[in-house]
Structure 1
């Protein structure tokens, strides 16, 4: 009998602790928050405003998965954005998705590696993780996966591209869609390349430009 009572009391205590934990998680959802986000913030449904997101504040392990979400509008006014673009090397940063933003992003700087976005983003640069929607950058876009429409002045680079990329330089390891620019390249492409120089190691589609090269042949004007 005593054992049963102890078991019942243990279950009640565990349920009480879990309820308190769930309450704390609800309290960590905010309407307005400053960036970089506090590591105790789980979600923002509304507005984030500040200097931007930085993984060093919240990511402690290489295997850390998605930690924080923003649903709404994100505005970044980082005056050092141009320096980040000049000095930041995305290849040296860990490939960990730690923030997902759903909505509109307007930034005087840009995303660093580890940030995913669903919606519209306008910024100086974009070094994010996975982008779904429309991305416009003044300088460069360098992302893991892109699904949608991407416009950049200097270059668009992605490991996986599903959609359209427009820039002076377009590069994708895997491309499913259209590349439009001065120099277009991909390793495995299905779709179309339109530019001055088009290059693909393996292409199932069409190339239109001054010089076109794929795994089968090299031709001026039109290649397939």
Structure 2
């Protein structure tokens, strides 16, 4: 029974992928920037962050000579909007720069910085990772920031999330809603179900050094 269901699911995915390929041509090898948009089923090489609604299934290697200017950006780069998000990478993403306007990364990403609507899998970033949905195992030299996240986030300076489930490890961990464990020098959350370990820990119940906790849900007041 499981085998039949797997075959049916595979056929459906091939049909969907085939319909998408009719809209945008696909190639085994692509180079960015390109005049005619082509999806990639194999290997893509890009210069700068110029994808134009492209889907890459396989390996994406990006070269960005402007990486050294990234720390000079005067304000934090937010999660790209639906209209401005471009590339989807399913596979391996390697970059001397990174995504500025990513739509989705499913797989392994190694880059200097990363900004995407959705990131699933494993990523290592020298500077930071900013994602709307951040799921999996993610390491950043400076910070991880997400609207929603599940998994493990590790960063040197800080982890910040509106809604996170899992483990956060950093000098400073901050979240609106946390389900899991925070480990750092300073841990702050407004709605905690779990544990905090650090020099100073803050949640809706108390402010405590070393260890703090809350496992009780708020009761609705009638």
TM-score relative to the length of structure 1: 0.78
Q: Which runs of 4 or more aligned residues in structure 1 lie more than 4 Å from their structure 2 counterparts after TM superposition?
A: none
Q: How many residues align?
A: 191
Q: Is it true that 1:180 corresponds to 2:169 in the alignment? A: yes
Q: Which of 88, 91, 110 pairs up with 2:78?
A: 91
* SS of residue paired to 1:113: strand
Query: Equivalents in 2 of 1:27, 1:172: separation in Å?
Result: 35
CA contact (8 A) 1:113 1:143 kept: no
Tell me which residue corresponds to 2:136.
148
Deviation by residue 1:157-180 (Cα, 9 ceiling, x = unmatched): 111111111012110011111100
* RMSD of aligned alpha carbons: 2.1
Query: Equivalents in 2 of 1:188, 1:154: separation in Å?
Result: 21
CA contact (8 A) 2:37 2:54 kept: no
CA contact (8 A) 1:51 1:78 kept: yes
* SS of residue paired to 1:216: coil
Query: Equivalents in 1 of 2:159, 2:177: separation in Å?
Result: 14
Query: Equivalents in 1 of 2:80, 2:178: separation in Å?
Result: 27
Pick closer, same or farther for the CA change 1:215–1:69 going to 2, 3 Å: same
Aligned residue runs from structure 1 range 60-79, under 5 A = 67-79=53-65
Structure 1 portions without partners, runs of 5+: 1-21, 59-66
* SS of residue paired to 1:82: helix
CA contact (8 A) 2:97 2:112 kept: yes
Query: Equivalents in 1 of 2:63, 2:34: separation in Å?
Result: 15
Query: Equivalents in 2 of 1:115, 1:106: separation in Å?
Result: 16
Q: Which of 39, 42, 46 pairs up with 2:42?
A: 46
* SS of residue paired to 1:25: helix
Structure 2 portions without partners, runs of 5+: 1-18, 214-222
Deviation by residue 1:82-117 (Cα, 9 ceiling, x = unmatched): 324532753395344432100111100001123310
92-101 or 74-83, larger mean C-alpha shift = 92-101
Tell me which residue corresponds to 1:139.
127
Identify the structure with the greater helix proportion: 1
CA contact (8 A) 1:85 1:125 kept: no
